[in-house]
Amino acid sequence: MSLVFKGVAVSVLASVLFGAIYYLSPLLVPLDGEQIFGWRVLMTLPFTTLLLLTRRELPAVGALLARARRMPAFGACLLLSAALLGVQLWLFMWAPLHGRALPVSLGYFLLPLVMVLVGRWLFGERLTRGQALAATLAGIGVAWELWRAGGMSWETWLVALGYTAYFSLRRRMHTDTLAGHWVDMVLLVPVAITFTLRAPSSWGLVAEHASLWALLPLLGILSAVALAFYMIASRWLPMGLFGLLSYVEPVLLVAVAWLLGESLPREQWPAHALIFAAVAMLVLDGALHLWGARSKRTH
């Protein structure tokens, strides 16, 4: 099985798990968005650590920390990487609780297009014809929404630009590994603890609601596996293909937003239809290339 095919499978599975986390967020009430972010980090880290030990990447963590000690600029970039990730994790948990799931979903729709452009211009990657057509369809959909609405919400741009900056920084720093992700999560622990202790302290709320005793560890497991798969996919796949595959996640997030009671205005249907067509084209292109690769091996 080729590395690209495995990367595609891991990326899709990560998207499914992120959709499950999105749906889980409102079930964690009475915790608010900041408190859920804090608990997510604290619950995710033990399972991420277990994955790290299982994959024997602990020496890679030591190498990153040693590099940070030798190079203060690299250490500062590690802090920036953690901050960029932290903002995204917070927004992801905050949006469903405040009726902003759809604007965030649109940000995830816009994200792959931005990453395709960055992959082409910054990393010199090339797209197949199918991928180029998918990017064109998605671009038309995004352009339609920009023209119709006169702009995008801050949540949309924060996702599209923030995550692109995060993945580009990690690739430049060569920290796009599970070890690099673990360091990001560890650096977020002080902020996470602060959010859980912020008045009124969420520790009392957790103690009073037995359902949270099961839901918070479940959040940690889903988050650890989803984020680990996402980071692995970002390393195994070209930036452009990784960005295009990210369209799977917002499709699922829109479905979750509908399940949570949000509705998609009729005037937004053309943009989403074009983006869904881009997803279909991407799936078809991947299937054709996989079929072609198998045919060559059999001959």
Contact assessment for residue 241 and residue 64, using Cβ atoms and an 8 Å cutoff? no
Element (H, E) at 273: helix 269-298
Q: How large is the average pLDDT for residues 212-217? A: 91
**Which amino acid, 34?**
E
Is the pLDDT reported for residue 111 higher than 60? yes
Q: For residue 183, give Cα distances in angstroms to 66, 164, 220.
A: 12, 19, 16
Radius of gyration of the chain (CA): 19
Name the DSSP class of 200.
Answer: S
Element (H, E) at 218: helix 210-236
The first and second tokens of residue 194, run together, are 């602060």
**Bigger pLDDT: 200 vs 213:** 213
Which pLDDT band holds residue 43 (cuts at 50, 70, 90)? very high
| CA 19 distance to own-chain centroid | 10
Name the DSSP class of 31.
Answer: S
**DSSP structure string for 147-175:** HHHSS--HHHHHHHHHHHHHHHHHHHHT-
pTM of the predicted model as reported, rounded to 2 decimal places: 0.77
Contact assessment for residue 37 and residue 170, using Cβ atoms and an 8 Å cutoff? no
Residue 241 CB partners (closer than 8 Å, separation 6+): 4, 7, 8, 127, 131
Encode pLDDT of 114-169 as tens digits: 777 787 777 777 777 887 888 888 888 878 877 876 767 889 889 989 998 998 89
Encode pLDDT of 56-79 as tens digits: 899 999 999 999 999 999 999 999
Q: How large is the average pLDDT for residues 275-287? A: 75
Q: How large is the average pLDDT for residues 235-245? A: 73
Q: How large is the average pLDDT for residues 108-118? A: 76
The first and second tokens of residue 92, run together, are 């992801």
Which pLDDT band holds residue 296 (cuts at 50, 70, 90)? low
**Which amino acid, 93?**
M
Element (H, E) at 46: helix 33-54
Residues making up the chain, counted from first to last: 299
